Amino acid sequence: MEQVKNKQILLNNYVNGFPKESDMLLNDSATINLNLPQGSNAVLVKNLYLSCDPYMRIRMTKTEGSYFEPLTPGSVGTRLYNVFIDPVSLSLRVSGKRVPISGFGVAKVLDSWHSNFKNGDLVSGVTGWEEYSIISAPEALIKIEHTDVPLSYYTGILGMPGMTAYAGFYEICAPKEGEYVFVSAAAGAVGQLVGQFAKLSGCYVVGSAGTKEKVDLLKNKCGFDEAFNYKEELDLNATLKRYFPDGIDIYFENVGGKMLEAVLPNMRLNGRISACGMISQYNLEQEDGVRNLFLMVTKSLRMQGFIVGDFYHLYPKYMEMIIPLIKQGKICYIEDIAEGLESAPAALVGLFYGRNVGKQVVVVARE
Amino acid sequence: MEQVKNKQILLNNYVNGFPKESDMLLNDSATINLNLPQGSNAVLVKNLYLSCDPYMRIRMTKTEGSYFEPLTPGSVGTRLYNVFIDPVSLSLRVSGKRVPISGFGVAKVLDSWHSNFKNGDLVSGVTGWEEYSIISAPEALIKIEHTDVPLSYYTGILGMPGMTAYAGFYEICAPKEGEYVFVSAAAGAVGQLVGQFAKLSGCYVVGSAGTKEKVDLLKNKCGFDEAFNYKEELDLNATLKRYFPDGIDIYFENVGGKMLEAVLPNMRLNGRISACGMISQYNLEQEDGVRNLFLMVTKSLRMQGFIVGDFYHLYPKYMEMIIPLIKQGKICYIEDIAEGLESAPAALVGLFYGRNVGKQVVVVARE
């Protein structure tokens, strides 16, 4: 029995308002046995890359109105948080034992009796914020087949954010050539892809982000037609009118609140809004009220919220599309890589201050 | 040349806040020639029934953010307000001449050189709030074929509100047997039909209205499973939880604002909200902000605003469905009939105080 140290990041307390590094805790004293008992259905993995995603904030508050409350019987199996995430694993204790924060990641199989997985396999899916994890329901893991692209991409363009951009843009917004597309939080893990998908679809696309650096990246690296720093704009409604004199057909909503309120008057007839997140709202005691919803009626707008877990049946189709685009250099993906498990709390917190430029990844180990 | 008196209701001034009777004006001095000039493309009609509809309030304010602003080139022909409503006709003067308020109505053709219409034909469509009107684009009128139902029904169940209920419920909400349906403003021209359509579809349906009388009608006459008086409820969210312990699949939105905010936490996964109007918001200086929109994401909700004019291609199909239901007594339609053109301003104003019980109609003449 090979017993080794296993550093972990634990949730220290439930979060109020903006998350702080001190809401999380490095546990230096845990150990793990690197051999599974014979016949185990679990797999033991070494974590390589961990994903920092805005939705994780929601799971750090003990409220009933969270992602997990609205589950209804019969629909359980198709939800992201059931297929991929164990809802209790972010809670402080499970049967008296502290468990690490969980989230998407890329890992290497170190031990497995499971017929689907053998030692050395690379997998992506939900894992723990720790050096080694025992994945008790490995059926939810995706085996990584293409290893000639950066492995960290499986937390981003080839993982949940990629699927979010793909499902939200193509499936929900049903873009047509020549349409006008606006993407908020455009330099994030999802937004940068939506903008590039929009260009591939022959659309005109403008993105908003929170720094000049991000705005420049959107225009110069991701091919957005225009981008602006929303923090420098006093009147978002007027800003959007300037960038979209003819209005917006598709709004890819990552932000919510005042941004949504400013977008509605600028939407065109029969416009579509796909909403996969509303990051501006996660740290508020009470959500902002959004005005201008009557424009949904007068402009025949459709707003569709979605959870990417409902679209994972399209993952193979998405891979067929995206892998060649990456290899041909027709799509780029900006990552913000934090080194070491210790850096994970700061990296996660940084999302809510817009510190990340591109997809926020934490490297635990490179192989 | 037969010149007769032609009483008219004019808009006296643009409306601020709740409309008042004094915002309208009876003009007793107009006259009209009951014979059209030979070869005219117009038809001359005698108005029988006039429709009072909430959307009319929006056209009585001189704001740019109205129903009419969002028109974009190319989509003009399919919009309600273009096919059926002359947008300038509610303005105070057209080329210096005061024109009456316009709206949906039922009328009898008195004179026509137009090949589609002959004297004595009954028509429905947009006409003036006056005794006689000259309809300059009669192609937009619908010829009434079924005259063995109350003619006033063509302002309601067989007119725009009927189509609104039909399109919004069947086309947009796509109901399934056993689903839970909530209808606000349920005793109104549209709501009472949505509830009955829901029952015909095997759904469970609850309506909200603003008086005990209306609540009783919904339960005893329209077959709603339950109904409540929203004015007696202190916490609409809790009220909805009581009526929908398992949540709401379909919300037919007629009200907006606080009602929508209370509905969102009670929606079930993959719920649908069709929004054809938000009457609670029309008289406000600034729209209420709606919280809880992030639940659109976590519950994968779809909200679809619509304008009934986009669905008029379904009118024949709707008639095929609805006429037999009326004749077989399988559907009822509650009307609130005001007598005489003079009563029209009070009838219209009453909509915004919930004074009408059922569809508000004004009888100008019975034949």
Nearest Cα to B129, choosing from B216, B231, B6, B302?
Answer: B6
A positions 153-182 inside 8 Å of B (CB): none
Q: Report chain B residues whose CB lies below 8 A from the CB of A269.
A: 70-72, 75, 79
**Helix, strand, or coil (residue B247):** coil
Residues B278, A294: C-beta atoms closer than 8 Å: yes
pLDDT value for A89: 40
In percent, the amount of chain A with pLDDT more than 70 equals: 90
CATH homologous superfamily of A3-156+334-363 equals Medium-chain alcohol dehydrogenases, catalytic domain (3.90.180.10)
Which residue does chain B place closest to A255, by CA atoms? B294
CB A169 within 8 A of CB A191: no
Can you give the length of chain B in residues? 367
Q: What is the mean pLDDT of residues B237-246?
A: 98
The pLDDT tens digits for B156-215 are: 999 999 999 999 999 999 999 999 999 999 999 999 999 999 999 999 999 999 999 999
| Distance separating alpha carbons of residues A216 and A223, to the nearest angstrom | 10
H-helix or E-strand spanning residue B79: none
Mean pLDDT of A319-345: 97
Shortest CB distance from A256 goes to which of B268, B281, B293?
Answer: B293
Tokens of B15: 């409306």
DSSP state of B290: B
CB B366 within 8 A of CB B341: no
Assess whether pLDDT exceeds 70 at residue B71.
no
Phi and psi of B255, rounded to 5°? Answer: -120, -50
pLDDT at A98 over 80: no
Among A201-210, A315-324, B89-98, B218-227, whose mean pLDDT is lowest?
B89-98
Confidence of residue B12 (pLDDT cuts 50, 70, 90): confident
Q: Do A71 and B276 touch (CB under 8 A)?
A: no
Mean pLDDT calculated for residue range B315-331:
97
Residue B231 has pLDDT above 60, yes or no: yes
**What pLDDT does residue B104 have?**
94
pLDDT at A62: 67
**What is the tens place of the pLDDT at every residue in B251-287?**
999 999 999 999 999 999 999 999 998 888 888 888 8
Question: What is the number of other CB atoms lying within 10 angstroms of the CB of residue A274?
Answer: 26
Residue B233 C-alpha, separation from nearest chain A C-alpha, in angstroms: 21
Mutate to test the interface with A, among B176, B268, B294 (most CBs of A within 10 A): B294
CA–CA distance, B27 with A189 (Å, rounded to integer): 64
Residue type at B84 in one-letter notation: F
Residue type at position A18: F
Answer yes or no: do B276 and A265 touch at CB < 8 A.
no
C-alpha B212/C-alpha B229 separation (Å) is: 6
Specify the DSSP class assigned to residue B311: G
Best-predicted range by mean pLDDT among A148-152, B137-141, B285-289? A148-152
For residues B299 and A305, the answer to whether their CB atoms sit within 8 Å is: yes
- Please, is A73 exposed, middle or buried when counting C-beta atoms within 10 Å of its C-beta (0-12, 13-18, 19+)? exposed
- Banded model confidence at residue A97, pLDDT cuts 50, 70, 90: low
- Residue B1: its pLDDT value, please? 63
B241–chain A nearest CA distance, Å: 13
Residue A146, min C-alpha distance to chain B (Å): 31
Tell me if B166 sits within 8 A of B318, measured CB to CB. Answer: yes
Q: What is the rounded CA–CA span in Å between residue A278 and residue A58?
A: 11
Nearest in space to A306 (alpha carbons), one of B338, B304, B229, B269: B269
CA R_g for chain B: 21
Given a contact cutoff of 8 angstroms between Cβ atoms, the answer to whether A265 and A299 are in contact is no
Residue A286, Ramachandran bin (φ over 0: left; ψ between -120 and 50: alpha; else beta): beta
Question: What is the Cα–Cα distance from A33 to A108, expressed in whole angstroms?
Answer: 16
Distances in Å between the Cα of A22 and the Cα atoms of A9, A11, A49, A58, B109 are 11, 9, 22, 17, 79
Q: What is the mean pLDDT of residues A220-233?
A: 97
Domain range summary for chain A, segments of one domain joined by +: 3-156+334-363, 160-309
Q: What is the distance in angstroms between the Cα of A261 and the nearest Cα belonging to chain B?
A: 9
pLDDT greater than 60 at residue B76? no
Give the span between the Cα atoms of A149 and B7, in whole angstroms.
78
Q: How far is A91 from chain B (nearest CA, A)?
A: 19
Task: Please tell me the number of Cα atoms within 13 Å of A172 on its side-chain side.
Answer: 33
State percent of chain B over pLDDT 70: 90
Tokens of A300: 């025949």
Q: Name the B residues in 73-92 with CB < 8 Å from any A CB.
A: 75, 79
Chain A residue closest in CA terms to B286: A291
Taking every pair of C-alpha atoms in chain A, what is the biggest distance, in angstroms? 68
> What's the pLDDT score for residue B109?
98
B residues 248-267 closer than 8 Å to A (CB): 256, 260-261, 265, 267
Q: What is the mean pLDDT of residues B99-109?
A: 92
The per-residue pLDDT for range A120-151, each reduced to its tens digit, is 999 999 999 999 999 988 998 999 999 999 99
For residue B50, the SS3 value is strand
Mean pLDDT of A62-71: 42
Torsion sign (Cα): B113, B117, B122, B127: negative
* pLDDT at residue A84 greater than cutoff 50: no
> A192-211 burial, b if ≥16 CB within 10 A, otherwise e?
bbbbbbbbebebbbbbbbbe
Is pLDDT of B72 > 60? no
**Residue A91, pLDDT above cutoff 50:** no
CA distance readout (Å), A71 to A53, A76, A276, B247, B267: 21, 7, 17, 11, 11
Query: Across chain A, what does the average pLDDT equal?
Result: 89
**pLDDT (0 to 100) of residue A58:** 81
pLDDT exceeds 70 at position A44: yes
- Collapsing DSSP to helix, strand or coil, B18 comes out as coil
B361 pLDDT higher than 70? yes
Chain A residue numbers with beta carbons less than 8 Å from the beta carbon of B265 are: 65
- The rounded distance, in Å, linking the Cα atoms of B49 and B152 is 6
Report whether pLDDT(B93) > 90: no
Helical spans, DSSP H, in chain B: 55-58, 80-83, 160-166, 191-200, 212-220, 236-243, 257-263, 295-298, 315-327, 344-351
For B255, which residue in chain A has the nearest alpha carbon? Answer: A294
pLDDT band for A99, please (50, 70, 90 cuts). Answer: confident
Asked whether the predicted pLDDT for residue A21 surpasses 50, the reply is: yes
Confidence of residue B77 (pLDDT cuts 50, 70, 90): very low
Nearest to A356 by CA among A366, A346, A365, A364: A346
Nearby residues of A174 by Cβ (< 8 Å), 6 or more positions away: A272
pLDDT confidence band for B83 (50 / 70 / 90):
very low
Confidence of residue B324 (pLDDT cuts 50, 70, 90): very high
A341-367: average pLDDT? 96
ipTM: 0.88
What pLDDT band is residue A96 in, cutting at 50, 70 and 90? very low
Nearest-Cα residue of chain B relative to residue A78: B269
* Contact (Cβ atoms closer than 8 angstroms) between residue A269 and residue B70: yes
Does residue A331 surpass a pLDDT of 70?
Answer: yes
Q: Assign residue B51 a region: left if phi > 0, alpha if psi is -120 to 50, beta otherwise?
A: beta
Q: Which residues contact B182 (CB under 8 A, 6 or more apart)?
A: B205, B206, B207, B208, B240, B243, B244, B248, B250, B251, B252, B263, B266
Query: Is the minimum CB–CB distance between B283 and chain A shorter than 8 Å?
Result: no
Instruction: Give the least confident one: A65-74, B60-69, B106-115.
Output: A65-74
Per-residue pLDDT reduced to its tens digit, B329-339: 999 999 999 99
If you measure CA to CA, which chain B residue comes closest to A295?
Answer: B305
Q: Where is average pLDDT lowest: A68-82, A154-168, B34-48?
A: A68-82
pLDDT at A60: 81
The first and second tokens of residue B279, run together, are 């009457």
Q: Which fold has domain B160-309?
A: Rossmann fold (3.40.50)
| Whole-number pLDDT of residue A283 | 84
For residue B275, the 8-state DSSP code is E
Residue A304 Cα, gap to closest chain B Cα (Å): 4
Report how far residue B2's alpha carbon sits from residue A236's, in angstroms, rounded to the nearest whole number.
Answer: 59
List of chain B residues whose C-beta atoms are within 8 Å of the C-beta of residue A304: 296, 300-303
**To probe the interface with B, which of A56, A261, A269 has the most B CB atoms within 10 Å?**
A269
Give the confidence band of A75 by pLDDT, cuts at 50, 70, 90.
Answer: very low
Residue B325's SS3 state is: helix
Cβ contact B125:B117 at 8 Å: no
CA distance B39 to chain A (A): 38
**A 34-73 residues with CB < 8 A to B:** 65-67, 70-72
Phi, psi for B229 (deg, rounded to 5): -90, 105
Alpha-carbon distance A321 to A300, whole Å? 32
With a CB cutoff of 8 Å and minimum separation 6, the contacts of A276 are A164, A168, A190, A252, A253, A254, A305, A306, A307, A308, B297
Put simply, the answer to whether B303 touches A302 (Cβ < 8 Å) is yes
Residue A152 to residue A124: CA distance in whole angstroms: 10
Binary contact (A301, B304; C-beta < 8 A): yes
**Gap between the Cα atoms of B175 and A314, Å rounded:** 26
Q: If pLDDT is split at 50, 70 and 90, which confidence band does B97 have?
A: low
Percent of chain A past pLDDT 90, that is, above it, reads 77
What are the φ/ψ torsions at residue B82 (nearest 5 degrees)?
-95, -40
DSSP string over B88-133: GGGSS-BTTB--B-EEEEEEEEEEE-STT--TT-EEEEEEESBSEE
Structure confidence at residue A330 (pLDDT): 97
Residue A77: pLDDT band with limits 50, 70, 90: very low
Specify whether the CB–CB gap between A253 and B266 falls below 8 A. Answer: no
* Mean pLDDT score of chain B: 89
Q: Is the pLDDT of residue B90 over 50?
A: no
Euclidean distance between CA atoms B246 and B180, whole angstroms: 8
Chains A, B: CB contacts under 8 A, how many? 132
SS (H, E, C) chain A: CCEEECCEEEECCCCCCCCCHHHEEEECCCEEECCCCCCCCCEEEEEEEEECCCHHHHCCCCCCCCCCCCCCCCCHHHCHHHHCCCHHHHCCCECCECCECEEEEEEEEEEECCCCCCCCCEEEEEEECECEEEECCHHHCEECCCCCCCHHHHHCCCCHHHHHHHHHHHHHCCCCCCCEEEECCCCCCCHHHHHHHHHHCCCEEEEEECCHHHHHHHHHCCCCCEEEEHHHCCCHHHHHHHHCCCCEEEEEECCCCHHHHHHHHHEEEEEEEEECCCHHHCCCCCCCCECCCHHHHHCCCEEEECCHHHHHHHHHHHHHHHHHHHHCCCCCCCEEEEECHHHHHHHHHHHCCCCCCCEEEEECCCC
Among candidates B65, B256, B291 on the partner chain, residue whose Cβ is nearest the Cβ of A286: B291
